[in-house]
Structures are given as structure tokens and as C-alpha cells.
Amino acid sequence: MTSVERDLRPVTDEDRNLEALVRASPFPVFVIQLPDSLITEVSDAAVQFAGRPRAELLSMRLLDYVFDPEVAAQSLALVAEGKIDGYTRQGRYRQPTGDYRPLTIRISAFTDQCPRRRALAMFLESPQEPVVPRDQPDDAAGFVLGTIDDQWRIDRITSDVGHLLHYEPESLLGQSTFTVVHPEDISHLLLLASEAAARQGESSGRVRLRTADGGWIQCRVSVTPLAGTTPGGYAFAISAIDPDRRVASPRQRELEDHLRRIAREVSASGVAALTSDMPTALDVPELSTLTSREYEIVVRLVGGERVSAIARRLFLSESTVRNHLTAVYRKFGVASQGELVARLGAASRP
């Protein structure tokens, strides 16, 4: 579609509202049409990130400026068809100089209607120059992180599962993942895992999960292949879906919540690259007492990241990260980072 053809497309009030809200967002985010990836709006932070004038960005397709457009096009088609809600992957973006800049990109469908016609593309980090917004809320509540082994048994899970599904974390350790997944949704979960393994990234979708009292709630589940020495395992992140959330004519708060959730999914999927060398909760029971935010900080700390780098990645202040670590030390009965890392290192499997 050319820029002229795009101008002839009817523009709805919802389009205007979404694009106006995105423009003011502190996140580097693009609104794109599916499946062709034509850019219809960008935030001011995205203009700064891309190093191009807004008018130039609004005349291009996102696919024309990524390193592997064919692979990206296949993934966008899956989002448009509703087979996955979104995905996170490491990629490269072509700068005005012609050089490619490493980044982490998250594509997330903005509506539930199928076929989906719009998505948000968020660029969140680059090894050369992080572009994360500062002083964002610590909104990890409601996120459950964990891992499953090559037999689909849960071997790590954070304490937030008690709030979401009302289970004690230790009651799920060693159990098959499929005991808490609705039978009709097991094939969908396997599809998400297959797509994630194929791109060596993260894929997300909607799955009904069983609560401790026997009911079912619809959740967003993201799965990422574990890196490192553990073959066949996956990391997962679970969050509840608000059935009352309105998609049409989004308000400022709704959009901000959506963008923060996308950023949260990106940071959660990044933990998968570091988790496989951590001991499981079966080895170190204290791990199942950690919240998702505490677990994420511990994984990054054990992976060699400093507090300042963790704060930037998680959009937190350094004092907030240190407060979380203080709570972790109390749960583990240690007094310092060194003691915590030594304890976990000694328990790690060879």
C-alpha cells in the first residue's frame, strides 16, 4: 500500500485516538498495519530511537528495515491470523547509515478481533545504547514466571501463582503442565512452544488454566525455549486477562497498561536466556517463595548483571532493585549478594 492509498483508507475515531496516545508514549513504539507492516504512527521516543524524521517513518514498512524480512513477515501473518498474540525476538534494525543496530523487538496484537489489522511494535533495548524509559511503575504483580523440563514438568515457579491460580507453589513442582491446562487448549500451548522453538524466541497466546478450586480462567501465556545446557525445556510467563477490558476507543490508561505489559513480557522472556543454569526450585525450595520480580532480579544477578544494569532493564530505580534484594536475602537467610550467588552457584546442576 502506498502512502496515497493509505490516505484514502477510512480513518476511524479509534485510529485517531490510538495514534494520538501512542505518539505521547515514553516507549519507542510503532503502530503497524497487519500483515504488511505499514507504519501508521510512531511515538516521539521511537523517532529518537530510529534516527529518522517522523514523516519518513510514516512512509515506510517496518519489514523494509529489519534484517530478516521474510522471517518477520511469516511471524506477522501468524499474529494477523490470531494464531499467536505476539512474539519477542532479537533482531537488527537498518539505520539511516545503512548499518544494522541490534535490538530486542516485541510485536503485540492490539485487538482480539480476527483477522487482526493492527499491532504495536516496541523496540526496547540495544547493547549499544539502551533506550528504556525511566521511573516506570514496578508493575510485576500478576505475572507468574517459571520453567518446565523436557517432559513438560514444572520445575520452577514463582510465588505469584498463589494470587493468580490459588495454588501453593510447591504443590505444582514436579507436576505435568498439562494438569492445569484446559484439555481443549493443550494443542494451542504446543503450537506456541513450536513457534517459539522455531524462531528461538518467545511466543504468546491465550490459554485457559485451572485454579486450585477447580475453576478455569483465561490467561496470557508466553513460552520461550531455555538456552544453555537444559535441552527441550521452556521458560513461561503467565498473566491474567481482564475479561472486562474494552478494546475499542482505548483510554490513555488502557494504552499505558498495554504498553507496560508488553515491556514486562520482553523483560520476562529475557530471563529465559539466563534461567537454565540456575538451580530448580526442587533443588532450592526458597526459589518458590520469590515473587516474579524478585526471581527476575536474582536470575539477572546470578547471570553477572550489576544492580544498575538490572534497574535499567526492568525500568526501576536502583533503590527499588536493592529493596527487592533485601527481601530476597531475608527469604534465603543470607546477608549479601556474594552469599546469595554462592548459595545458588553451589546448588546449580553441572
Check residues 260 and 140 and name the one with the higher pLDDT. 260
For CATH 3.30.450.20, list the domain ranges present in the chain: 3-125, 143-347
DSSP single-letter state for residue 142: T
Above 50 in pLDDT, residue 16? Answer: yes
Cβ atoms of 272 and 226 within 8 Å: the answer is yes
Report the C-alpha gap between 67 and 44 in whole angstroms. 23
Report the C-alpha gap between 226 and 113 in whole angstroms. 31
Report the C-alpha gap between 212 and 304 in whole angstroms. 37
Residues contacting 243, CB < 8 A, separation 6+: 218
Query: Is 312 in a helix, a strand, or coil?
Result: helix
Above 90 in pLDDT, residue 6? Answer: no
Report the C-alpha gap between 26 and 133 in whole angstroms. 6
CA distances from 207 to 115, 185, 241 (A): 19, 6, 10
Q: What is the architecture of the domain spanning 3-125?
A: 2-Layer Sandwich (3.30)
pLDDT-derived band at 127 (thresholds 50, 70, 90) equals very low
> Would you state the pLDDT for residue 191?
92
> Per-residue pLDDT tens for 144-193?
999 999 999 999 999 999 999 999 999 999 999 999 999 999 999 999 99
Report the pLDDT averaged over residues 249-265. Answer: 67
Phi, psi dihedral angles at 190 (to 5 degrees): -65, -35
Helices (H), the chain: 3-8, 13-23, 44-50, 54-57, 69-81, 161-164, 169-172, 186-199, 252-275, 292-302, 307-314, 318-332, 337-347
> Per-residue pLDDT tens for 192-205?
999 888 878 889 99
pLDDT-derived band at 287 (thresholds 50, 70, 90) equals very high
Q: Which of 50-54, 274-278, 331-335 has the lowest mean pLDDT?
A: 274-278
pTM score, whole prediction: 0.81
> Would you state the pLDDT for residue 340?
93
> Per-residue pLDDT tens for 197-248?
887 888 999 999 999 999 999 999 999 998 765 567 899 999 888 655 444 4
CA distances from 135 to 28, 198, 216, 319 (A): 15, 35, 35, 11
Q: What is the architecture of the domain spanning 143-347?
A: 2-Layer Sandwich (3.30)
pLDDT-derived band at 1 (thresholds 50, 70, 90) equals very low
Report the pLDDT averaged over residues 96-120. Answer: 83
> Would you state the pLDDT for residue 13?
58
Check residues 99 and 327 and name the one with the higher pLDDT. 327
Phi, psi dihedral angles at 106 (to 5 degrees): -120, 125
**Beta-carbon count within 10 A of 287 CB:** 29
> Would you state the pLDDT for residue 125?
63
Query: Is 233 in a helix, a strand, or coil?
Result: coil
Above 70 in pLDDT, residue 139? Answer: no
DSSP single-letter state for residue 133: P
Phi, psi dihedral angles at 45 (to 5 degrees): -65, -35
**Beta-carbon count within 10 A of 83 CB:** 15
pLDDT-derived band at 7 (thresholds 50, 70, 90) equals very low
Report angle CA 37, 39, 43 to the nearest 5 degrees: 130
Residues contacting 314, CB < 8 A, separation 6+: 267, 293, 296, 297, 321
Report the C-alpha gap between 207 and 188 in whole angstroms. 8
